[in-house]
Structure 1
Amino acid sequence: MRRIHVTAMARTPFGKFRGALAGFDAIELGSRLIDAVTARDPDREMRPEIVHGGAGLLGGAHLTTLRQSLIRSGLPDDTPSQGVDRACCSGMTAISAAAAHLRAGQGAKALAIGVESLSNTPVLLRRGSERKVNSLELIDPLLLSGSVSEKTIAHYTAEEALKYGVDRAQQDEWALASHERYFAAKRRGAFAAQIVPLSTRGAPLADDEGPREGSSPAKLAALPTVNGSATITAGNAPGLSDGAAGLVLVGSDAAEPVEGLAEIVDWVQLAGNLQTGTSIPAACILRLLDRNRLALEDVDVIEINEAFAATPLVSATVLAARLGADPASLRRRINAWGGAVAIGHPLGASGIRIVMQAIGRLHARGGGIALCAICGGFGQGEAVLLSL
């Protein structure tokens, strides 16, 4: 079986909604990311045969965002591309699709990228039900709702969290820790090798805009809940974000040595009831553990995307119950460098960002095994198993 190696990785800083990256649409962010990650490729003479990519909200309504990003980048125009649509899972799905392409022997090198420009997501103008020319209805996609449920994602996220005993106080506590862990890692230089600064109208942006110091349990507790949710606030959920992330993947025969940052061992995509968003990362992790005959104790690094603070909390609760682990100890192992509540959650990029963060953590500890999992809107989930 062919082995899949990550040989280069890069991401932009993650920008706040209408912040420093608002002047870049998804196409521009994608093209800059493609150029940045290919510039880090240790073997630039061997070009990628294909680019897989994802954007959570379909690239801000652009037609074939990935293809346009590729054309605007330095890659040859005859490089094919393939976009995926799995909401927040899209970036990680791009990794899985690229890895599957290489493992099947259809190429030797591929790019996996994810991009999001929520600042440039258009408001939709839908024709109303009346038979009138001026019967129009405004719809904002950033409310993150859908036609399959009258509830917002935040609404049913809180319902599932409370079902598992994860209350507002625990979610606020996790959110505060996410920022604290991020700044502790940043002071150690943990993100310096990941982030490629972007030139903006002002000074180049070299740092994530979302993380903030100086919060407290009292400040978080004072925030109102949002979108009809019982527990979700602006403090324990990520802000709307812009950003892009990408990996260079190389396939090799088992005996062929490759200088890589990490190896992608396995991956899984699952789906369930649309109200299982906070627990489905746990289901994905359980599937990979079982398929690869691993125990939780064999895993050195765990990353679970913080779509909400509730997500890693509920998934840790499920994993602990199923595997007989101590919940508090397990939670301390997840997102040790902070997560999306602090860093931000550009939907299509986050799945790649957490894989990059897991690789960074593996290098910091001298190697090991990592599991990365993410949920996507309406009951989707994905996970990737890495080794170094």
Structure 2
Amino acid sequence: MKKNDVVVVSAVRTPFGRFGGTLKDIPSIDLAAMVIREVLQRVSIKGEEVEETYYGTAVIGEAALETDVPARQATLKAGMPADHISVTLDRACCSSLTALRLGYRAIKAGEIDVALAVGADNMSRAPYVIPPDVRWGKRLGNIQIWDGLFELGYKGFNPVSVDAGEVALEYGITREDQDRWAYQSQMKYAKAFSEGKFKLGEELMKVEIPMKKGPPIVLEKDEFPKPDTTLEKLSKLPTVYGSPTVTAGNAPGLDTGATAVLIMSEKKAKGKGLKPLAKILSSVATAITPRLIAAIPGFTIQKALANASVALNQIDLIEINEAFAAMPLVSAKILSNGDPEKMKSILEKTNVNGGAIAIGHPVGASGARILMTLIYELKRRGGGMGVASICGGLAQGDGVVVQVNGE
């Protein structure tokens, strides 16, 4: 045990709800409060023992429906003490892994011993936006209402689906390759679910939604998976937003959910008698030319492995967020240096239980989701090393290398 080694002691998420589904009316802040309570309760840690909370969210318009400081609101709603320190951050889809990285750095620096990383978004509650000049009045002309979810783009830049599709083709990854990966993601998730891998008590918790009349609505499993998907159905879908390859079938949905990961110095965990789920060997951030969003997870994995002094062939499992099917495929090609056999080997251990195309992608929560999915699967396999990587808007990246010990 080295000084200030950092371990994961608890990790949990809500089931992910589909667009317009069961969770559509629940503020992301309330979902975050649920996972905060659960992640602490599982290891009998009190709110006052957590020194800092880092909270990632990416659908800022939805959080703004509750004004601001979602981290502060969620921690208070979860029963954390009034003097608890929290911060809200937005690094697009990277946000919850960025939250983990900031807590990791604070522990490594010796400033604190216990940190909480949270991510939450409800894309179903993303509001339409009226232009700000309407506040000051318009004498003539139409008023345009904006939808921040449409095209999922940034003003002055291409839609992310266009960049991902174009870059995929530049790396030799075809539309057919992406549809095939999407189909496999759905099938792998269906198999994993049938085997009990996505059960309550591991990465999943039960969500109960009180009703004005009658019993609460209960959500115990992800809503987005499509086990009846076929390659034929996927091949008939049109591409979206001008992308050459991306469709609604080889991309995830506009989903809802929350994640939480509790980390500690290894010394603190040992003192509390807690058995770590995993040790964090490195946690890194990256950024690159904005259009290369499909490639950034591969470059991020290279940096994370280098920082951990771990070779790719030492890695047992890989999680790459399926923002689109292009991401794991392009990243695997980068990691394999274009060698077909190496690429095949990399993909065989990537997203082995399916990915965001099946599970869903509530953007601010997904980074922590891929990390806990990785940790729990390594645990089932008796331990090993894994790496998780996620892309964020305009080609940002976050990545984590973890070691899980056997029983």
TM range, smaller chain: over 0.9
Choose from 92, 97, 100 the match for 2:97. 92
1:368 aligns with 2:384: yes
Question: Is 2:47–2:79's contact at 8 Å kept on the other side of the alignment?
Answer: no
Q: Distance in 2 between matches of 1:360 and 1:28?
A: 25
Deviation at 1:44, TM superposition (A): 3.6
- Superposition pairs of residues 120-135 of structure 1, within 5 angstroms: 120-127=125-132, 132-133=138-139
Determine whether 1:113 maps to 2:118: yes
Aligned-partner SS, 2:207: coil
Contact conserved, 2:118 with 2:260, CA < 8 A, in 1? yes
Q: Does 1:265 align with 2:281?
A: yes
Q: Distance in 2 between matches of 1:126 and 1:240?
A: 23
1:284 maps to what in 2? 300
C-alpha distance in structure 2 between counterparts of 1:323 and 1:292, whole Å: 24
What SS does structure 1 have at the residue aligned with 2:156? coil
Partner of 2:81: 76
- 8 A contact 1:3–1:254 mirrored in 2: no
Match in the other structure for 1:186 = 193
**What secondary structure is seen at the aligned counterpart in 2 of 1:87?**
coil
- Counterpart in the other structure of 2:242: 228
Superposed, 1:309-324 pairs within 5 Å as 309-321=325-337
CA-CA distance at 1:84 after TM superposition = 1.3
Confirm or deny: 8 A CA contact 1:26 1:117 kept in the other structure.
Answer: yes
Contact 1:2 1:254 in 2 (8 A): no
The equivalent position to 1:6 in structure 2, one of 5, 8, 11, is 8
Deviations 1:252-293 (A, max 9, x none): 349957521111111110101111111111101111222333
Deviation digits for residues 307-335 of structure 1, max 9, x if unmatched?
00110011001111178962112111100
User: Corresponding residue for 1:145?
Assistant: 153
Q: Cα 1:265–1:134, aligned 2, differ >3 Å: closer, same or farther?
A: farther
* Paired positions, count: 387
| Counterpart Cα distance in 1 of 2:266 and 2:306 | 25
- In structure 1, what is the equivalent of residue 27 of structure 2? 25
Pairs within 5 Å for 1:57-76: 57-58=59-60, 60-62=62-64, 63-76=68-81
- Stretch deviating more after TM superposition (40-49 or 185-194): 40-49
Change (3 A) 1:374 1:254: same
Instruction: Give 1:131 deviation, angstroms.
Output: 8.5
Moved more, 124-133 or 101-110: 124-133
Distance 1:52 1:337 in 2: 28
The gaps in structure 1 that reach 5 residues or longer are none
> Which residue is equivalent to 2:206?
197
Task: Tell me which residue corresponds to 2:41.
Answer: 39
CA contact (8 A) 1:128 1:137 kept: no
Q: How does 1:274-353 map to 2 (within 5 A)?
A: 274-321=290-337, 326-353=342-369
Per-residue deviation, 1:137: 2.6
Q: Percent identity?
A: 36
Q: Please state whether the residue corresponding to 1:329 is helix, strand or coil.
A: helix
Q: Deviations over 1:60-98 (max 9, x none)?
A: 142111111112111112111011110000010001011
Relative distance call for 1:292 and 1:45 in structure 2 (3 A) is: closer
Q: Is the 8 A contact 2:103 2:117 kept in 1?
A: yes
